[in-house]
Amino acid sequence: MKPGISLLGAKEIREIAASLDLIPSKGLGQNFVHDANTCEKIVRLADLKDSDHVVEIGPGLGSLTLALLRTGARVTAVEIDKRLAARLPETLRDHGAPKDSFKVITADALQLECGEVPAGSLLVANLPYNVSVPVILHILAMKRIDRAVVMVQSEVASRLAAKPGSKDYGVPSAKVAWFADASIADRVSAKVFWPVPRVDSSLLTLHTHQPLGEESDQEMTFKVIDAAFNQRRKMLRSSLETLINHYLPHQSSAEVLELSGIEATERAESIDIKGFLAIAKTLLRR
Binding site for ligand SAM (CB under 6 A): 28-33, 57-61, 63-64, 78-81, 84, 108-110, 126, 128, 131
Nearest approach in angstroms of CB 19 to ligand SAM is 16
For ligand SAM, the nearest residue by Cβ is 58
**Shortest separation between residue 154's beta carbon and ligand SAM, angstroms:** 14
C-alpha closest to that of 285 among 258, 250, 247: 247
- Minimum Å gap between C-beta 34 and ligand SAM is 7
Closer CB to ligand SAM, residue 30 or residue 221?
A: 30
Closest CA to 148 of 242, 53, 60: 53
Closest approach of ligand SAM to the CB of residue 27, in Å: 8
Q: Which is nearer to ligand SAM, 60 or 172 (CB)?
A: 60
Nearer to ligand SAM (CB atom), residue 130 or residue 242: 130
Give the angle 134-139-142 at the CA atoms, nearest 5°: 130
Nearer to ligand SAM, 31 or 202 (CB): 31
Closest separation in Å from C-beta 103 to ligand SAM: 14
Which one, 22 or 277, has the nearer CB to ligand SAM?
Answer: 22
